[in-house]
Chain A
Amino acid sequence: MAKTATKQKIVAMTGNAGCALAMKQINPDVVAAYPITPQTTIVEEFANYVANGVVDTEYINVESEHSAMSACIGASAAGARVMTSTSSQGLALMWEELSIASSLRLPIVMQTVNRALSGPINIHCDHSDSMGARDMGWIHLFAETAQEAYDNTIMAIKIAEHKDVRLPVMSMHDGFITSHAIDRFEVLDDADVKKFVGDYMPKHSLLYNPNEPVTFGPFAMPAFYYEQRKQLRVAIDGSKDIVMKVTDDFAKLSGRQYGLFEEYRLDDADVAIVVLGSTAGTTRYVIDAMRAQGVKVGMLKLRVFRPFPAEEIAQALSKLKAVGVMDRSDTVGTLGGPVYVETKAALYNSKQRPAMQGYVYGLGGRDTGPDQIETVIGDLVKVVKGEESPREAVTLLGVKE
């Protein structure tokens, strides 16, 4: 157990129950959500907290995710602390509202339990839902474990509402693998979470400043639109420092230190895997086993996907010989998955850079076992030895031929 000033409780809970607990501890003013597998148990459990009177939240039952996000936008613009949660098609149905939330600079926090997009219809994990929404102006955090999903939810509120950020945040964890598995993790006291997130006092709001009315969601013609979009770019680029400030503050409270990404055994590595979500755990397991056999392999596990920490990634990876980037979503019709394409682009102007190849894995919940990670590492070693040239086309891991 980590040494911290504060007392924490070790629990046996599913990732979703942990996220619902974090929501209870945050005690948001408004939650508007619509149930969808595998997110359902979050809103179900949170509805219990509301029904039992342990939170003050106004829980709005809506008839669709489009309405859920619309209600969140209205409540957030009025000055409320707002949270919601969704998955897959639910996120897709929110689509037109997502960019409105970010352009209005509304600090809505949404737990997104990653599930494959239809079709064919599927309930299991991949990242195609949130990756499809990667350019909507939201901050994207990814979790490897239930612990990280719980921790990120608490940090997300503080990041979103920070006066220099004021942007919506999506906090992701893997459907079923993390959401429905019972895991061991530490939870903070209610009072510590309450103190950490503090009160939300927006600068402009109908609730707190009724005598200083402002307009939300105005019409902007060519004379004004572009500058608004520039402000969004400046805000999300600038949020990187605040993400890290909140992350460091959280480490002081919890003893759990996170970063924009984690570098695992990367210092002296020749080859490395870039990955995010629960597969980082399986990758860690394989790396330990292969290190024991003398293979110099490491991992860069992304936690913050938006804002994309391009400069920091380039620095962390430039000295390696070969890097394999794993995507649990496929961006068809282009070079490969989004993590691969962006990681590769981040390194393009580096004087020194590794050979890189992209892998797609685990679509629709296809199990990604140690054998697939070993395959990637084996491929990278062949590139380093000159036995193979780096592949131009992405490799589809674990697909039946």
Chain B
Amino acid sequence: MAEVKLTEIRWHARGGQGAVTAAKLLAETALSQGRYFQAFPEYGPERMGAPIQAFTRISSEPIHIRSSIANPEIVVVLDPTLLKAVDVTSGMHEDGVLIVNTDDEPKAIRKAMGLKGRTIFTVNATRIAQETIGRPIPNTPMMGALVKATDMMPIENLTDYVRKSFGKKFSEEIIEGNVRAVERAYAEVKAE
């Protein structure tokens, strides 16, 4: 298994888009790889539609640090309207990775944000979710994009785990819809 140094991820979303579930699912997938992790949302007076943050740490070694993530290597934005509402690149590493759910090209996002350095990935996860799952919930496709952008594990590990963990709760149709969502986002995400 490939060694993974301590990697810190920050998720930006709106309440109801499934960022906390995605952070949790990623942690559980990491466990299935024998890795160490932490996943924690930022708790506040959040409600449906309000901007929220969630955090994930992943490492090959036990993780001791317990404070919030101030300098993430990876930032995942589940809602493009947050780009104007929240400073999503705050504290972000110079060589970090920004992944945005949007129909725009990475170049357009870079220009709109005036962003230098970093690698920008974009994918229309909402449309993919609508077409595969039948609901505009972008969290699972964004995980496919995240795996592509970071190369943190083979995509099959994620799809296998989605099948395994969703299998307890959901119908075959929903499970396969989510798997297709992950695979499509993995294939369709664009980088710059």
Bound form: Cα–Cα A176–B64 in Å: 16
B38 contacts A182, C-beta separation under 8 Å: yes
Q: How far is the CB of A359 from chain B (nearest CB, A)?
A: 15
- Is A12 within 8 A of B64, CB to CB? no
**Interface-facing stretch out of B66-74, B82-90, B132-140:** B66-74
Question: Which residue in chain B gives the minimum CB-CB distance to A367?
Answer: B68
Q: Which residues 260-298 of A sit at the B interface, judged by CB distance below 8 A?
A: 278-279, 281-282, 284-285, 288
Contacts of A38 in B (CB 8 A): 43
Candidates A12, A282, A367; contact of B27 at CB < 8 Å: A12
Check B145 for interface membership: any CB of A closer than 8 A: no
- B41-56 contact mask (Cβ, 8 Å, vs A): 1 or 0: 1010000000000000
Provide the residues of chain A in CB contact with B41, threshold 8 Å.
180
Known contacts A124-B43, A180-B43: does B37 contact A370 (CB below 8 Å)? Answer: no
Kindly list chain B residues whose C-beta atoms are within 8 Å of the C-beta of A124.
43
Asked if A177 and B40 make an inter-chain contact with CB atoms under 8 angstroms apart, the answer reads yes
Q: A12–B70 Cα gap in the complex (Å)? A: 24
B64 contact set on A, CB distance < 8 A: 281-282, 284-285, 288
Q: A281-B64, A281-B66, A285-B64 are in contact. Are A176 and B43 (CB under 8 A)?
A: yes
- Asked if A192 is at the interface of the complex by the 8 Å CB criterion, the answer is no
Distance of A284 Cα from B65 Cα, bound (Å): 8
What residues on B are CB-neighbors of A368 within 8 Å?
67
Q: Is A382 an interface residue (CB 8 A)?
A: no
CA distance A183 to B35 in the complex (A): 11
B115 at the interface (CB under 8 A from A): no
Quick one: CB contact mask for A295-331 with B, threshold 8 Å, 1 for yes?
0000000000000000000000000000000000000
Q: Does B24 contact A (CB under 8 A)?
A: yes
Residues from chain B with a CB closer than 8 A to the CB of A182 are: 23-24, 27-28, 37-40
Whether A282 touches B66, Cβ cut-off 8 Å, given contacts A123-B43, A182-B24, is yes
With contact pairs A12-B27, A12-B28 given, residues A278 and B66 touching in the complex (Cβ less than 8 Å): yes
Do most interface residues of chain B lie in helix, strand or loop, or is the interface mixed?
mixed
The residue that B67 contacts in the complex, of A11, A183, A367, with Cβ under 8 A, is A367
Minimum CB–CB distance from A87 to chain B (whole Å) comes to 13
A12 touches B31 (CB 8 A): yes
B67–A370 touching, CB < 8 Å: yes
- Whether B36 is near chain A, meaning CB under 8 Å from some CB there, is yes
Category for how many chain A residues contact B? 20 to 34
Q: How far is the CA of A12 from the CA of B66 in the complex (A)?
A: 16
- A74 CB–B CB distance under 8 Å: no
Q: Which of B1-41 contact A (CB under 8 A)?
A: 23-24, 27-28, 31, 36-41
* A184 in the interface (beta carbon within 8 A): yes
A177 near B31: Cβ-Cβ < 8 Å: no
Cβ-based interface call for A220 (8 A): no
**What 0/1 pattern do residues 154 to 187 of B give for CB contact below 8 A with A?**
0000000000000000000000000000000000
A181 and B38 contact, CB distance less than 8 A:
yes
Give min CB distance, A339 to chain B, whole Å. Answer: 18
Q: A198: CB under 8 A from chain B?
A: no
Q: From residue 57 to 112 of chain A, which have CB atoms closer than 8 A to chain B?
A: none
A245 nearest CB across to chain B (Å): 28
> Given A123-B43, A176-B43, A182-B27, A282 and B65 touching (CB < 8 A)?
yes
* Residue in B closest to A365 when the chains form the complex, CB atoms: B43
Docked CA distance A19–B101 (Å): 37
Whole-angstrom distance between the alpha carbons of A12 and B41 in the complex? Answer: 15
Chosen A-B contacts, 9 in total, with CB atoms closer than 8 Å, are: A11-B31, A180-B41, A181-B39, A181-B40, A182-B23, A182-B40, A183-B38, A369-B68, A369-B70
List 7 tightest A-B contacts by C-beta distance, closest first.
A181-B40, A369-B67, A182-B39, A285-B65, A281-B64, A281-B66, A278-B66
List 6 additional contacts besides A182-B38, A285-B64; criterion CB under 8 Å: A12-B24, A180-B43, A182-B23, A182-B40, A282-B67, A367-B68
